[in-house]
Structure 1
């Protein structure tokens, strides 16, 4: 399976750090995020990778090169202008002719890609989303009501949500939904697919997942061993 790593964003949530470095090059310990992502892909059997770049893309190319240092093959696209989270796939129409993986360049996880890919193939849909459960702390008392009367009250509860991990399995047919040359986000894709009543499948991951674009996750990632010598990572790779 080929993988597409989306690295075109400006990383505004991590400013001022991302004024100097693109988000995928932010350091986790002594290594940039994208190096950890590439090694995770390689442990999961993926060698052929496309990296979509925009903001400070030349720095990403300089660090990663052609991928030979990780026994991988890396190709790049350069957005002439920001194309959103899904729009850059329009630059790869001729390259993605079988089911492929798409992921954000700032995601760290122990997701088993073989299980995810097998799930996608079994359901034979155009799109599968890897998801995780996140709790959101409410700063208000939450009221449930019916016909103008309170039926329940919860003081500043933790609300549980199923959220996208920024990792997707897609079939090439998805490329037909993506316009060329204009910004097109994952939210746009979801609206279009739901309006057309196209099935989108959900793969629930209960393991580790951090979004490095969030300051709290970036700081948390510094205390986790992400390399292949980590017992937790090795166990996932062997599963």
Structure 2
């Protein structure tokens, strides 16, 4: 298996930490977040990783090296200008096999990456998204209105549950034709393009542990979670 790790962002929501340290190198316990991810990928059977980097690219290259210490072969693709969350895939198109994994480089989770790769192959869809449920509580009274504006229902501080993207995907090369060259293109743009074209988008529902460390409170939660359940993420 081959994986593309997207690690080119500036991590603006984690400032001031990311003023000196790129987000993928933020420490979780005695590891960096991207090192945990790389070791998980190797354990799942991934042999090659392409790191798409931009902000503080030289530091990421110096720390991770050729990947041999993680049981992988790592190559790098620098973004001269930011290309969004899926735009960098066009830069590495020539290096991609028919099926591959793509993920953000700042995620702490215990997803079975081999199972995601298998789900992508089984679905036959150009894109398979790892999804998990997230609850969102509304701290207000919510009114249901009919077309005339009359109240027909009321819920006090309800909680709504949504399926959300985890920033981890299984893709086929056919998805690349929807990604333009040389300009920013995000996951949201890709979803709209695929749905507009009538292309199937599959999912792999996940009910394990997942945290995106993009915000300071999530970063603190990830620290605590990793220290409590280290074996879940990095089994000996």
SS at match of 1:219: helix
* Deviation for aligned residue 1:229: 6.4
**Equivalent residue pairs, number:** 235
8 Å Cα contact 1:36/1:226 also seen in 2: no
Q: Is the 8 A contact 2:144 2:154 kept in 1?
A: yes
Aligned residue in 2 for 1:107: 107
Task: Give the Cα separation in 2 of the matches to 1:55 and 1:233.
Answer: 27
Q: What does residue 142 of structure 1 align with?
A: 142
Q: 2:19 maps to what in 1?
A: 19
- Say if 2:48 and 2:74, in contact at 8 Å, map to a contact too: yes
Report the CA distance shift for 1:203/1:226 in structure 2 as closer, same or farther (over 3 A).
farther
Distance 1:30 1:229, change over 3 A: closer
Alignment map for 1:170-209 (pairs within 5 Å):
170-209=171-210
The separation in 1 between residues aligned to 2:24 and 2:230, in whole angstroms, is: 22
Deviations 1:107-133 (A, max 9, x none): 111111222222111110100000011
Give me the whole-angstrom Cα distance separating, in 1, the residues matched to 2:204 and 2:145: 33
SS at match of 1:179: coil
Corresponding residue of 1:91:
91
The answer as to 2:31 corresponding to 1:31 is: yes
Cα distance in 2, alignment partners of residues 112 and 226 from structure 1: 20
Kept in 2: contact 1:2–1:46 (CA 8 A)? yes
Residue by residue over 1:132-176, the C-alpha shift from the partner in whole angstroms, topping out at 9 and shown as x without a partner, is 111112132211122322222112222211100000000011111
Task: Report the CA distance shift for 1:228/1:215 in structure 2 as closer, same or farther (over 3 A).
Answer: closer
Summarize the Cα distance change of 1:228–1:143 in structure 2 as closer, same or farther, 3 Å threshold. Answer: closer
Contact 1:8 1:79 in 2 (8 A): yes
What's the CA shift for 1:217? 1.8
Is the deviation greater in 9-18 or in 109-118? 109-118
Q: Which structure 1 residue ranges, 5 or more long, are not aligned?
A: none
Q: What whole-Å deviation, never above 9, does each CA across 1:16-75 have from its counterpart, x for those lacking one?
A: 111111110111112111111101111111120000000111111011000011121000
TM-score (norm 2): 0.94
Give the whole-Å Cα distance in 1 for the aligned partners of 2:227 and 2:122.
30
Question: Take 1:59 and 1:234, find their aligned partners in 2: how far apart are those partners?
Answer: 24
| Cα 1:226/1:166, change in 2 over 3 Å | farther
